[in-house]
Amino acid sequence: MTKVFTFLLFLLMITHVACDGNNESGQEIKKEEEQEQEQEPEKEPEKGVDVSFAEYTLEGTSCQWVNLHSEDDPGGHYNLLVINSDEELQKYIIGTDYPPVDFSKHTLLLASSRTNYGIAEIVNSLQELSVSKYKWAIEINLSDATMIENWVRAILVDKLSKESEVQLYINTIRN
């Protein structure tokens, strides 16, 4: 009987130690979860004041955009150009009947790239983040068509200073 009692006491002690060990593990997991919650959340893109702009297009002319990306660019590389003169603009257009731009009052922002899918729609927005910092967001809604497609978006904004910085944010959505 003493052996049985000793054995039961031994089992009780092991169970107590095992429970304490599990409790500590539970506390450690909880501490890890608390640490994860305490981590700084990911920063959202800066938000600013909406800026008006006019879309600039070569539709209805005999002109075409050129020299916007290299021929060996497989896509996914976004190009942003800030154009402040007619001489600069002519580097990127073939043809002469393109819509005129008054560069004394305006700056032309031009973004381009390639995609491996067809494009259903492109939506632009422009925000002023500070006196000389802007965010141009372009949302590209892709179609199911599998094809390489170039896209170009150009917008006219009030004249930007030489110190101005334009950040380009591209969001592609595949429907």
How far apart CA 81 and CA 92 sit, in angstroms, is: 10
Q: What is the rounded distance in angstroms from the CA atom of residue 168 to the CA atom of residue 151?
A: 15
How far is residue 128's CA from residue 9's CA, in Å, rounded to a whole number?
74
Report the distance separating Cα 13 and Cα 115, nearest Å: 67
Question: Tens digit of pLDDT for each residue in 34-92?
Answer: 333 343 433 445 678 999 999 999 999 999 999 887 666 555 578 899 999 999 999 99
The residues, ordered by sequence, that sit 6+ positions from 172 with a Cβ below 8 Å of its Cβ are 115, 139, 140, 142
pLDDT digits (tens, 9 = 90+) for 112-167: 988 888 889 999 999 999 989 999 999 999 988 888 888 899 999 999 999 999 99
Predicted TM-score of the model (pTM): 0.69
Backbone angles phi, psi at 59, to 5 degrees: -60, 140
The count of residues in the chain is 175
d(CA 107, CA 82): 7
